[in-house]
Amino acid sequence: QLTLAESGGGLVQPGGSLRLSCAASGRTSSSYFVGWFRQPPGKEREFVAAISRSAINTQYAESVKGRFTISRDNAKNTVYLQMNSLKPEDTAVYYCGAHPTSNLLVVGRDPYDYDLWGQGTQVTVSS
């Protein structure tokens, strides 16, 4: 069974940057597509970005397109979310999810597409 652990969250000023990491252990994460979601206070979990097994297919929510970049290093069993030009509305708990697949290109944009989740990491954007 794969387990996921997010890290890299924290407090940052508007316009700043953070890089989140989603480290997988237990099994190789290269057999999974991986997504980042976030849950602002009092709101439902929402899609942020996703990356396919091959890393060829990446998708982003409109609200983060051009500011966030998802990538993966299968040798390190880690998926990253580079977040630039952060805004107060990016404040949320960020979660990574994973789903096993034999397809090299598919990704999921809905939380129900994912079987496995990490515990989350808090990102707060505030001056």
In three-state secondary structure terms, 76 is helix
% of the chain exceeding 90 in pLDDT? 91
pLDDT band, residue 114 (cuts 50/70/90): very high
Query: How far apart are the two ends of the chain, measured CA to CA in Å?
Result: 40
CA-to-CA dists, residue 127 to 16, 89, 90, angstroms: 10, 12, 13
- Structure confidence by residue, pLDDT tens digits, 21-41: 999 988 776 789 999 999 999
- Structure confidence by residue, pLDDT tens digits, 38-70: 999 999 999 999 999 999 999 999 999 999 999
User: What are the backbone dihedrals phi and psi of residue 22, each rounded to the nearest 5 degrees, phi first?
Assistant: -125, 100
